[in-house]
């Protein structure tokens, strides 16, 4: 059987880690979060979600360096938790990306209409769909190079935005805009740091989680790099800088510059609805002619990048499911160039759902599609953390030393417990919002509740199907196989590096953990 192309290099993994999954959830969805909860809620919820995803990615890195297998995190659920749950997580992840692709194509069309609303949405959907198809013709290397270039562009653009934001906050904007005098933190006082009370605060949690969705792709991509045990740890460390620079600092500046009551912001629970990004509103209000269009280009590049990632993540997971016997065998086929063509084709085909937005009921259909994928990332991350916890438990049960683990999560199993606790908090917050949504004092109706929590019954359905199909139950600690598929490592080099790090001062050891 042909193997997946392993032409991805360390520079690709590093860029995928630092900027690969930044798209509509961050640039556009942050406007929805700002409207629902206010700038303080956005900052707090994104910070909490950042702690959560930081521990998730390090747990995934530890497992992926030890067992760099195709299909990544879903196979860890099979191995360390329950084959039926692994089946559910695999299909949950495939479904997430199948649905997100048409949603991202729709955002592309909305983004372009910022300049010209006369051209039909269908035209732009077609153009961007064809572009994503062409990128995937070039397989792993096409995805890797596209992500490298787009992530570098997003990184530079965000740094430029933050420099401009500091100038505007200090009152250095042109006289034609509103930031021509000291601006400071006035918006935290009027209209206020929080909006819509506790309901608004809770509603921002899922928006924050959605914005981080796709961060785990670096673990999936590791299976297609030529030296995952060397490249992956370096890439994992870049996630700290993505959380700090992109999300925390970027959204802090947005909350200082853009009012949470601005009616041009996306005012919807659907981050794919038509709305203007706060990253565009700030330069627009500043009177920086042309800079708002530049930021809109950044958003467009980001959204297209996520569309490419949808096909990559969904196709690789579907191929791995088929290889495990959890999906039709046709999807296990890989051509001589290392491309899983049947899986890629079925993922690309789902892009056609984007044309549903043209129908009179398109918005309703999209709300339900979003409901299917809204919590999917939280279940994926929770499964990674549980798999890591059970891996460590089995490792200890079999009397093995932590020194035998080549790359260890920075906060160990404690970090996984913290991350898992925060995921439960996020799920509880979403459950509360499903009952008591923001912008109203009333309780939600049945339709609104299921839109907010539809992902849970979908996951439970997949779990039941997996159990009926495979008839395999929970894996006990003493049954966990820790050796099959375990990668051999150059322990002389690893131990020499560990001795070197141990000799460094504390500040340098701390820096080495995230750089």
pLDDT in tens, 17-59: 676 677 777 887 788 889 888 999 999 998 998 899 889 989 9
pLDDT digits (tens, 9 = 90+) for 174-226: 988 899 899 999 999 988 899 888 888 888 887 787 778 878 877 776 666 66
What is the rounded distance in angstroms from the CA atom of residue 7 to the CA atom of residue 395? Answer: 32
Place 272 in a pLDDT band, splitting at 50, 70 and 90.
Answer: very low
Spell out the domain ranges in the chain: 29-514
Q: Please, where are the H alpha helices in 113-247?
A: 121-137, 139-169, 197-212, 217-222, 228-241
148 has a pLDDT exceeding 80: yes
> What are the tokens at 341?
């063509």
- Contact (Cβ atoms closer than 8 angstroms) between residue 280 and residue 292: yes
CA–CA dist 126, 92 (Å, integer):
27
List residues bridging with 283 in a β-sheet: none
pLDDT at 253: 93
Which of 23-27, 30-34, 91-95, 465-469 comes out lowest in average pLDDT?
Answer: 23-27
Specify the 3-state DSSP secondary structure of 4.
coil
Q: For the segment 285-330, what is each residue's pLDDT rounded down to a tens digit?
A: 999 888 888 988 988 998 888 888 889 888 888 988 898 888 899 9
- Do 334 and 340 form a contact (C-beta atoms < 8 A)? yes
Q: How far apart are CA 218 and CA 11, in angstroms?
A: 12
Task: Over range 81-99, report the average pLDDT.
Answer: 91
**How confident is the model over 268-279, as a mean pLDDT?**
61
Instruction: Kindly report the CATH number that applies to the domain delimited by 29-514.
Output: 1.20.1740.10
Give the 3-state DSSP-derived string for 255-285, with helices as H, strands as E and coil as C: HHHCCCCCCCECCCCCCCCCCECHHHHHHHH
477's tokens: 């600690």
**pLDDT of 70:** 66
Cis amide prior to 434 (ω within 30 degrees): no
The pLDDT of residue 270: 47
């Amino acid at each position: 059987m042909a193997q997946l192309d392993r032409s991805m290099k360390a520079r690709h993994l590093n860029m995928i880690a630092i900027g690969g999954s930044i798209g509509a959830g961050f640039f556009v969805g942050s406007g929805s979060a700002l409207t629902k909860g206010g700038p303080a809620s956005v900052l707090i919820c994104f910070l909490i979600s950042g702690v959560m995803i930081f521990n998730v990615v390090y747990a995934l890195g530890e497992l992926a360096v030890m067992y760099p297998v195709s299909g990544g995190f879903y196979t860890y659920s099979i191995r360390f938790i329950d084959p039926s749950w692994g089946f559910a997580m695999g299909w949950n992840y495939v479904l997430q990306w199948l649905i997100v692709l048409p949603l991202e194509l729709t955002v592309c069309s909305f983004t372009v209409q910022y300049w010209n609303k006369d051209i039909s949405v269908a035209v732009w959907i077609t153009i961007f769909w064809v572009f994503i198809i062409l990128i995937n013709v070039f397989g792993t290397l096409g995805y890797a190079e596209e992500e490298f270039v787009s992530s570098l562009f997003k990184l530079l653009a965000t740094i430029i935005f933050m420099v401009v934001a500091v100038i505007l906050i200090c009152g250095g904007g042109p006289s034609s805009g509103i930031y021509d005098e000291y601006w400071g933190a006035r918006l935290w006082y009027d209209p206020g740091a929080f909006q819509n009370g506790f309901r608004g605060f809770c509603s921002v949690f899922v928006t924050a989680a959605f914005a981080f969705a796709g961060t785990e792709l670096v673990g999936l991509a590791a299976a297609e790099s030529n030296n995952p045990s060397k490249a992956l740890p370096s890439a994992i460390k870049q996630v700290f800088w993505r959380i700090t620079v992109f999300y925390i600092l970027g959204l802090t500046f947005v909350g200082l510059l853009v009012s949470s009551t601005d009616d041009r912001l996306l005012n919807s629970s659907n981050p794919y609805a038509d709305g203007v990004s706060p990253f565009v509103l700030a330069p627009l209000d500043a009177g920086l002619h042309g800079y708002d269009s530049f930021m809109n280009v950044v958003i467009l590049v980001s959204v297209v990048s996520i569309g490419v990632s949808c096909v990559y993540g969904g196709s690789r997971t579907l191929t791995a499911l088929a290889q495990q016997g959890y999906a039709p065998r046709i999807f296990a086929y890989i051509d001589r160039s290392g491309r899983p063509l049947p899986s890629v084709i079925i993922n690309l085909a789902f892009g056609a759902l984007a044309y549903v937005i043209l129908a009179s009921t398109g918005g309703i259909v999209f709300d339900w599609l979003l409901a299917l994928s809204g919590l999917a990332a939280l279940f994926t991350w929770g499964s990674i953390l549980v798999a890591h916890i059970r891996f460590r438990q089995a490792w200890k049960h079999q009397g093995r030393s932590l020194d035998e683990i080549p790359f260890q999560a920075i906060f160990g199993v404690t970090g996984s417990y913290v991350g898992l606790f925060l995921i439960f908090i996020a799920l509880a917050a979403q459950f509360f919002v499903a009952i008591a949504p923001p912008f109203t004092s009333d309780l939600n109706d049945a339709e609104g509740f299921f839109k907010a929590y539809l992902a849970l019954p979908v996951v439970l359905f997949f779990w039941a199907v997996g159990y009926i199909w495979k008839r395999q139950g929970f894996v006990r600690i003493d049954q966990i196989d820790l050796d099959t598929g375990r990668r051999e490592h150059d322990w002389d080099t690893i131990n020499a590096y560990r001795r070197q790090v141990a000799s460094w001062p504390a500040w340098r050891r701390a820096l080495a953990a995230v750089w």
